[in-house]
């Protein structure tokens, strides 16, 4: 059985639960998963997201070489004179800054932060200097595609991006955990 790790089973259970909730929202119109959509975004929201995103992504690109050091143990980093705690703190600060800024403006869109970096890692390897820019491109392309699909399927209505991403992202996450190619990815 490929699911000998209990953490994988928990993640798969949560993914399937969200997927079934997304299907329930999709077919009944209930707002169980969330109503995150790009429909209400104004130009001032876009400007806020642009400024927040550019600042955070520049900081992420500056910290990307340091993130590669975290592949070594804390003792090896200490021998090189690098503080693992310092690197982790600043990486966490950038992640919190970017995710809270986007979530405050748009809302929660499930599975994007899990699936996109793992796809990027699969495509370009384990170097964060290439993972981060590719994740930016894939994530923006994915959200644009999901929003376009949600706006065109049920004209004149709209399916929220969170609902579509929940329905698509849950099974993809299960497949990703099941597949041998992604099992080596941490």
Stated pTM of the model: 0.81
Quickly state the pLDDT bin for 86 (edges 50, 70, 90).
Answer: very high
Average pLDDT over residues 98-115: 90
How confident is the model at residue 167, as a pLDDT? 92
Is residue 186 pLDDT above 50, yes or no?
no
Task: Please report the DSSP string for the chain in residue order.
Answer: -----HHHHHHHHHHHHHHHHHHHHHHH---SS----STT--HHHHHHHHHHHHHHHHHHHHHHHHHHHTTS-HHHHHHTT--HHHHHHHHHHHHHHHHHHHHHHT---TTHHHHHHHHHHHHH-S-HHHHHHHHHHHHHHHHHHHHHHHHHHTTTS---HHHHHHHHHHHHHHHHHHSHHHHT--
How confident is the model at residue 181, as a pLDDT? 47
How confident is the model at residue 142, as a pLDDT? 95
How confident is the model at residue 185, as a pLDDT? 46
């Amino acid at each position: 059985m490929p699911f000998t790790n209990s953490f994988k089973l928990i993640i798969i259970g949560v993914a399937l639960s969200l997927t079934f909730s997304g299907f329930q929202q999709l077919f009944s119109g209930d707002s169980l998963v969330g109503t995150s959509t790009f429909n209400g975004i104004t130009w001032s929201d876009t400007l806020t997201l642009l400024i927040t995103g550019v600042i955070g992504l520049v900081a992420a690109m500056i910290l990307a070489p340091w993130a590669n050091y975290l592949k070594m143990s804390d003792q090896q980093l200490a021998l090189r004179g690098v503080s693992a705690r310092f690197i982790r703190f600043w990486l966490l600060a950038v992640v919190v800054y970017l995710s809270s800024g986007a979530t405050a403006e748009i809302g929660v869109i499930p599975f994007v932060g899990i699936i996109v970096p793992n796809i990027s890692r699969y495509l370009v390897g384990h170097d964060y200097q290439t993972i981060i820019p590719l994740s930016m491109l894939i994530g923006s392309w994915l959200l644009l595609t999901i929003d376009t699909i949600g706006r065109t399927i049920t004209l004149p209505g709209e399916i929220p991006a969170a609902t579509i991403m929940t329905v698509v992202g849950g099974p993809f996450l299960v497949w990703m955990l099941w597949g041998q190619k992604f099992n080596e990815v941490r």
